[in-house]
């Protein structure tokens, strides 16, 4: 097993990280405040990331990918998340939630049809799991799909779906109840499958975008399926394995969200160090005050711990070892680090930290969802406890 160690990356990974960091600093950071203020989806930056190959990092070259791996994707997400969480979640969701289910569970025909247009960044896929009454609770899924004469008819709704309503969204892969099955205890439980629904299909509506607290330049919509009809061949993976397959996708995604969270936490450290050295009070830089320097030191400690946690989870995943517990730990620790660092960075910046044009203010608004999305902190604790046998 190759264990990734912060600060000691193999050359190919370090070159990737440095290249994405340069892109983030020189091209993403200067326009991020305006994109956030205007709630504008960053089409130009997405196109640039496509040209850089970021959307294809973990996919085989035969499907238009870069032939890299999931850890490479995480490094890119971390560096972008350092300066713009909205853009980072666009990449994370487009790859690990949009394209990855097709890559993991699709037929060869499905992969060749859909992946090239997703791995090059010209199109985005979305992951339709959460509903008003269902997310972690699969039994609450209300969306239904019936199969008749080679056609699926889908009815229901989804909520909080990232990348689902852009001009370049190509499809949503949605969970739906397709029947019932007998559980291990002998009772009847929903049979949940996943079905690919291309945008533009009659009856598929991306409702008006949410008015969110943060991630203002990412795309998030509720979805409605009203007698949506797609071919039987649009079933993704084995019938009845939809939820189990999505759980695998979520385990991987938690590592990527952990990486995004580490980027946000690191961004707060960087901004706080810079500000504390420049801001003067009582005749000296505020970095000279122990109350400030200790706060920043604790912020840095959180970053190091969280980065180490997601590096470990990624190492185990790529080695083919069990990683569910490590992914849950990484996601939880990193999400909390991002939120704690954002709060401390805002405090260090004082009144300026409350102004939206400052990066730390955006991180303060953006970071809360990192303790909620792709499994709340409480869900991560449940998963960790379960993996411990309790």
13-72 residue pLDDT tens: 999 999 999 999 999 999 999 999 999 999 999 999 999 999 999 999 999 999 999 999
Q: Is the pLDDT of residue 152 over 80?
A: yes
Mean predicted lDDT score pLDDT of the chain: 95
Segments in the chain forming alpha helices (H): 11-23, 29-38, 43-52, 70-81, 85-92, 100-105, 108-114, 116-119, 242-278, 290-318, 324-349, 359-367, 377-387
Q: Is the pLDDT of residue 166 over 90?
A: yes
Q: Are 155 and 227 in contact (CB under 8 A)?
A: yes
Residue range 124-241, CATH number:
2.40.110.10
Q: Which of 78, 252, 374, 378 is catalytic?
A: 374
Is 12 assigned a catalytic role? no
Residues 6+ apart with CB under 8 A from 109: 233
Place of tokens 């998030």: 220
Residues 6+ apart with CB under 8 A from 94: 55, 118, 121, 124, 125, 163
Residues 6+ apart with CB under 8 A from 339: 367, 368, 370, 371
User: What average pLDDT score do residues 101-119 get?
Assistant: 97
Residues 6+ apart with CB under 8 A from 10: none
Q: What is the pLDDT of residue 140?
A: 83
pLDDT tens digit string along 132-141? 887 767 668 9
Sign of CA dihedral 127, 132, 138, 139: negative
Class of 11-119 per CATH? Answer: mainly alpha
Residue range 244-387, CATH number:
1.20.140.10
pLDDT tens digit string along 233-273? 999 999 999 988 988 999 999 999 999 999 999 999 999 99
Q: What is the pLDDT of residue 119?
A: 97
Q: What is the pLDDT of residue 137?
A: 72
Q: Are 312 and 325 in contact (CB under 8 A)?
A: no
Domain ranges of the chain: 11-119, 124-241, 244-387
């Amino acid at each position: 097993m190759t264990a990734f160690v912060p600060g000691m990356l193999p050359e190919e990974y370090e070159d990737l990280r440095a290249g994405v960091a340069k892109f983030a600093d020189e091209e993403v950071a200067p326009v991020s405040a305006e994109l956030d203020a205007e709630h504008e989806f960053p089409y130009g930056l997405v196109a640039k990331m496509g040209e850089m190959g970021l959307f294809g990092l973990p996919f085989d070259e035969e499907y238009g990918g870069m032939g890299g791996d999931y850890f490479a994707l995480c490094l890119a997400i971390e560096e972008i998340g350092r300066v713009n969480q909205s853009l980072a979640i666009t990449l994370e969701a487009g790859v690990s939630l949009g394209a990855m289910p097709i890559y993991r569970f699709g037929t060869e025909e499905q992969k060749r049809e859909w992946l090239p247009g997703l791995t090059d960044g010209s199109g985005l896929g979305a992951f339709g799991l959460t509903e008003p009454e269902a997310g972690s609770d699969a039994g609450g899924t209300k969306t239904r799909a019936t199969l008749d004469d080679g056609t699926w008819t889908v009815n229901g709704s989804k909520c909080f779906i990232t990348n689902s309503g852009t001009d370049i969204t190509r499809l949503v892969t949605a969970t739906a109840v397709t029947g019932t099955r007998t559980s291990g205890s002998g009772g009847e439980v929903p049979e949940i499958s996943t079905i690919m629904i291309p945008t533009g299909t009659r009856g598929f509506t991306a409702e008006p975008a949410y008015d969110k607290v943060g991630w203002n330049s990412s795309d998030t919509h509720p979805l409605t399926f009203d007698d949506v009809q797609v071919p039987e061949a649009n079933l993704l993976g084995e019938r009845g394995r939809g939820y189990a397959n999505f759980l695998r996708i979520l385990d991987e995604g938690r590592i990527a969200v952990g990486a995004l969270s580490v980027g946000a936490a690191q961004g707060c450290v960087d901004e706080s160090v810079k500000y504390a050295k420049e801001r003067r009070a009582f005749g000296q830089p505020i970095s000279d005050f122990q109350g400030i320097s200790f706060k920043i030191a604790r912020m840095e400690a959180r970053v190091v711990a969280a980065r180490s946690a997601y590096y470990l989870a990624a190492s185990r995943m790529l080695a083919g070892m069990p990683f569910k517990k490590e992914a849950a730990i990484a996601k939880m620790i990193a999400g909390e680090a991002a939120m704690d660092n954002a709060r401390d960075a805002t405090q260090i910046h004082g009144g300026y930290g409350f102004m939206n044009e400052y990066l730390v203010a955006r991180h303060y608004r953006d970071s809360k969802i990192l303790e909620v999305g792709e499994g709340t902190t409480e869900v991560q604790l449940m998963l960790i406890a379960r993996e411990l046998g309790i």
